[in-house]
Amino acid sequence: MTNKSRYMTKAISEELDIELQVVLWQFYDEINEQRKEQMDYLQVFEISVCEETLTITNRQEVSSLQTKVIINNKVKGAKNTTVWIIDDERYQTMLFPKDY
């Protein structure tokens, strides 16, 4: 967990279920802990829904790395989408690519 303030765009707040927002922040924290200095400022989370499973694939360009997590219980309201988390020096922001 970070001490930085965390924000989200209005679109994330309205269109992405709170449970999935929490899952993404937790996944972000886990990969941040694993990668440490290799962590890029832009993290891309690709969310795929298939019947009763939810797959979240994380990737970054600098220090080209990819991590995948599969959740067996479908998160309410989840749909196929892409979410970014941008980390700058002061805060972290969750947004859809269309919000950039």
pLDDT for residue 1: 60
Domain ranges of the chain: 5-99
Q: Which pLDDT tens digit goes with each residue over 36-83?
A: 889 999 999 999 998 889 999 999 988 898 999 998 876 777 899 999
Mean pLDDT of 8-16: 97
What is the model's pTM? 0.91
51: number of Cβ within 10 Å: 6
Of the options 2.60.40.10, 3.40.1010.10, 3.90.1150.10, 3.10.450.150, the CATH number for the domain spanning 5-99:
3.10.450.150
Beta-carbon contacts of 75 under 8 Å, excluding residues fewer than 6 positions away, are 17, 19, 20, 23, 54
Q: How confident is the model at residue 99 (pLDDT cuts 50, 70, 90)?
A: very high
